[in-house]
C-alpha cells in the first residue's frame, strides 16, 4: 500500500535547507530507495516516492515557512539535475498506476505554480546539469530556469523519440502555453532526443538564462537576491507545523478524525463521509493560528486529500464513491464566515487555497462521485462544493425531516475548478444568471427548492429513496470503467480551457491511450525495449 504521508526528517531523496527568505530544495535521489522492486533510481530519476516528498515539501513551505520568498530547486549530483521519471519503473508498472503517477506528479507541479501565484514564493530552477523528460518538466513548472553552460548539459523532452509516449506531466502544454515557445521550435525540441544546450535553449525560450560552471552558484545567488529585492519584506508572521494525520486503517476502510472511508468491495463502491466542524470555533485570525493544523477546514481537507489519493492508487477496483456529510449547517457557515472575514491573513488565505486544491483533486479523480443529501447532512458552503463537484447529487425530499442545503460567500469564487470557473458557473453555463440567482435565495434550500434551483440532480421522496439510490449504484458500477473515465473527464470541465484543463483533459486522455498501444508498451514497443539491445518496431499506420 502506498502511503502519501511524509515529513522532512523522513525524506530519502530531497534535502530542504533555509537561509532567511531563501529555501533550497536539493534533489539527491537514492537509487536503491524505490517504492517497488525491479529498478534503480539512477541519475536522479524519480518514482512516485520521490514526488510524494516533493509534494510534501511544497505544502510545508507554504504553511510552515511563510518567511520564504524564493525557493531554489537544484541537484546535489554533479552534472545532472534530473533524468525524469524512471523508465524501468514505468515499463514494469501496471497501466492504471502509470496514469495516476503522471496525474499526481502534474498536480505537484501545479502546486508549485499555485504557490508562486498566490503565496509569494517564487521558484527558481537551478539546473546544474542535464534536465531531461520529467526533470525539465519540473523545471518548467518553476518561475525561472537557469542552466549551467558547460558544453555538455542540456534540457530535453525525449519521450516521443525514445519511448513512444508523451511527456507525462504537462511539458508540451507548458512549453507553448506557459513559456509561449513557437510551435515549430517546440516541434523540433520535442522530437530531438538529445535536447538543446544553453545557448540555443535560451534563444528558443526554453530557459531564462545560463551561467558558466565557475560562475553558476554566483549567478543563481544574484538572481535570487534580485527576486528578494523586488518582493520586499514578507511580513508573513510565523508558520504552523503540519503534524501527521492520525488514521486508523482496517480491511474495511480508513478512519480519520473528520473523515471516514468505508469500502463495499463486493459492490465496487465506497462511502466517503466528511464530518463538519463543531460549534464555537475561533473567529479571529490569531485564534485560528493558535489552533494550528487542528483547525477544522485545514485538518478535514488534509484528511480528504489523503483519502482521495488512497482511493486513486490503492483501490483501483472501487469505481464509485458516495459522498456524505454529517454535522450542523450553521457550524459550517460559521467557519466559512470566519475564513471570509480573515481571508487577507496569510494562514487563512493558505487554508482557503488548500481547500480549493483538494476540491480540484476530487475533480480530477477518475472515480464516479454521487453526493447523497440525507437527514443529518451539512452540505453547506465549502462542503456544498462536494455536492457541486459530484457527477450526480441526490437529495431526500421528506418534509417531515430536516434536509437542507446552504450557500456561503466561499461558493462565489474562492474555490475555483481547474477551468477557472466556480462549480456553480460550470453547472449553469447555458444560463449564467442562475448561478447568481441562487445567492439571492433567502435562507436555506429544502429538497424542492434545491431541485428547482438546479442544485441537485434528483430529489426522491422517502418511499423511493432507498430503491433509487440502490438502482443508481448498481447501474453505475455495471458500466465500463474505461468509458466512464472518459465520459466524466469530458463532462466535468465544460466552459473555457485553461492550461490545467488542457493537461488533465487532453494529456491524460492521450497518455491513457498511448500507454496501452503496442508502439509504446507492446513486445516491440519503444517503452518496452528501452535500454535493451533490441530496437522498437512500430506499426506505422496512423490512427
Q: Which domains does the chain have, with CATH numbers?
A: 8-231 (3.90.226.10), 248-484 (3.90.226.10)
Tell me the C-alpha distance between 515 and 527, whole Å: 9
* Lowest-confidence region among 75-79, 173-177, 203-207, 491-495: 491-495
Tell me the C-alpha distance between 539 and 279, whole Å: 64
With a cut of 90, say whether residue 314 has pLDDT above it: yes
Indicate the DSSP class of residue 22.
Answer: E
pLDDT tens, position by position, 267-304: 999 999 999 999 889 999 999 999 999 999 999 999 99
Phi/psi class of residue 527: alpha, beta or left (left: φ > 0; alpha: ψ in -120 to 50)? alpha
Tell me the C-alpha distance between 190 and 200, whole Å: 14
Give exposure, 107-144, as e/b (b: 16+ Cβ within 10 Å): bbbbbbbbbbeebbbbbbbbbbbbbbbbbbbbbbbbbb
Indicate the DSSP class of residue 57.
Answer: H
State the pLDDT at residue 412: 96
Residue of 434, 378, 382, 418 whose CA lies nearest to 504? 418
State the pLDDT at residue 509: 79
Tell me the C-alpha distance between 408 and 421, whole Å: 16
Tell me the C-alpha distance between 111 and 104, whole Å: 10
pLDDT tens, position by position, 217-236: 999 999 999 999 998 776 66
Instruction: Please check whether residue 397 is in contact with residue 448, taking contact to mean a CB–CB distance below 8 angstroms.
Output: yes
The vertex-484 CA angle with 470 and 105, nearest 5°, equals 120
H helix or E strand, kind and range, residue 125: strand 122-127
With a cut of 90, say whether residue 510 has pLDDT above it: no
pLDDT tens, position by position, 424-453: 999 999 999 999 999 999 899 999 999 999
pLDDT tens, position by position, 388-413: 999 999 999 999 999 999 999 999 99
The vertex-229 CA angle with 226 and 231, nearest 5°, equals 110
Give residue for cell 477551468: 419
With a cut of 80, say whether residue 146 has pLDDT above it: yes
Instruction: Please check whether residue 131 is in contact with residue 155, taking contact to mean a CB–CB distance below 8 angstroms.
Output: yes
Tell me the C-alpha distance between 298 and 377, whole Å: 20
- Per-residue pLDDT averaged across 185-193, rounded? 97
Cβ atoms within 10 Å of 391's Cβ, excluding its own: 18
Residue of 363, 315, 359 whose CA lies nearest to 481? 315
State the pLDDT at residue 392: 98
Instruction: Please check whether residue 366 is in contact with residue 312, taking contact to mean a CB–CB distance below 8 angstroms.
Output: yes
Amino acid at each position: 500500500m502506498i502511503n502519501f504521508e511524509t515529513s522532512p526528517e523522513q525524506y530519502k531523496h530531497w534535502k530542504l535547507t533555509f537561509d532567511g527568505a531563501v529555501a533550497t530544495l536539493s534533489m539527491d535521489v537514492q537509487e536503491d530507495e524505490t517504492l517497488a522492486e525491479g529498478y534503480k533510481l539512477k541519475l536522479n530519476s524519480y518514482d512516485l516516492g520521490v514526488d510524494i516528498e516533493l509534494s510534501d515539501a511544497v505544502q510545508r513551505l507554504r504553511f510552515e515557512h511563510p518567511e520564504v520568498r524564493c525557493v531554489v530547486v537544484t541537484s546535489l549530483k554533479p552534472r545532472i539535475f534530473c533524468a525524469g521519471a524512471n523508465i524501468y519503473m514505468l515499463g514494469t508498472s501496471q497501466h492504471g498506476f502509470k496514469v495516476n503517477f503522471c496525474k499526481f506528479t502534474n498536480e505537484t507541479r501545479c502546486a508549485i505554480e499555485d504557490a508562486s501565484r498566490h503565496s509569494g514564493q517564487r521558484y527558481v530552477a537551478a539546473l546544474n546539469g542535464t534536465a531531461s523528460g520529467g526533470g525539465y518538466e519540473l523545471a518548467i513548472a518553476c518561475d525561472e530556469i537557469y542552466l549551467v553552460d558547460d558544453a555538455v548539459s542540456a534540457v530535453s523532452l525525449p519521450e516521443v523519440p525514445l519511448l513512444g509516449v508523451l511527456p507525462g506531466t504537462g511539458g508540451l502544454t507548458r512549453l507553448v502555453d506557459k513559456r509561449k515557445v513557437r510551435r515549430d521550435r517546440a516541434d523540433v525540441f520535442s522530437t530531438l532526443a538529445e535536447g538543446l544546450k544553453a545557448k540555443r535553449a535560451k534563444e528558443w525560450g526554453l530557459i531564462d538564462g545560463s551561467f558558466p560552471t565557475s560562475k553558476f552558484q554566483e549567478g543563481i545567488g544574484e538572481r535570487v537576491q534580485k527576486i528578494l529585492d523586488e518582493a520586499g519584506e514578507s511580513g508573513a508572521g510565523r508558520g504552523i507545523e503540519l503534524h501527521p494525520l492520525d488514521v486508523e486503517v482496517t480491511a474495511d476502510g480508513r478512519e480519520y478524525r473528520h473523515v471516514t472511508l468505508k469500502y463495499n468491495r463486493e459492490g465496487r463502491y465506497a462511502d466517503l463521509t466528511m464530518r463538519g466542524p463543531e460549534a464555537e470555533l475561533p473567529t479571529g485570525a490569531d485564534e485560528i493560528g493558535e489552533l494550528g493544523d487542528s483547525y477544522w477546514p485545514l485538518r478535514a481537507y488534509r484528511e480528504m486529500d489523503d483519502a482521495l489519493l488512497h482511493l486513486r492508487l490503492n483501490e483501483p477496483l472501487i469505481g464509485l464513491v458516495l459522498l456524505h456529510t454529517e454535522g450542523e449547517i450553521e457550524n459550517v457557515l460559521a467557519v466559512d464566515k470566519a475564513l471570509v472575514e480573515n481571508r487577507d491573513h496569510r494562514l487563512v488565505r493558505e487554508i482557503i487555497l488548500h481547500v480549493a486544491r483538494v476540491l480540484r483533486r476530487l475533480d480530477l479523480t477518475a472515480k464516479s462521485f454521487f453526493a447523497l443529501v440525507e437527514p443529518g447532512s451539512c452540505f453547506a458552503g465549502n462542503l456544498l462544493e462536494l455536492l457541486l463537484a459530484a457527477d450526480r447529487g441526490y437529495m431526500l425530499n421528506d418534509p417531515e425531516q430536516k434536509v437542507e442545503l446552504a450557500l456561503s460567500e466561499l461558493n462565489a469564487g474562492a474555490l475555483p475548478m481547474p477551468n477557472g470557473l466556480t462549480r456553480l458557473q460550470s453547472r449553469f453555463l447555458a444560463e449564467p444568471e442562475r448561478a447568481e440567482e441562487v445567492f439571492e435565495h433567502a435562507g436555506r434550500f429544502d429538497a424542492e427548492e434545491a431541485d428547482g434551483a438546479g442544485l441537485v440532480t434528483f430529489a426522491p421522496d422517502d418511499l423511493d429513496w432507498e430503491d433509487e439510490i440502490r438502482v443508481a449504484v448498481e447501474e453505475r458500477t455495471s458500466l465500463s470503467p474505461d468509458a466512464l473515465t472518459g465520459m466524466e473527464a469530458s463532462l466535468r470541465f465544460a466552459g473555457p480551457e485553461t492550461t490545467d484543463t488542457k493537461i488533465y483533459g487532453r494529456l491524460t486522455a492521450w497518455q491513457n491511450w498511448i500507454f496501452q498501444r503496442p508502439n509504446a508498451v507492446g513486445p516491440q514497443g519503444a517503452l518496452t525495449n528501452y535500454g535493451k539491445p533490441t530496437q522498437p518496431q512500430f506499426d506505422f499506420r496512423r490512427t
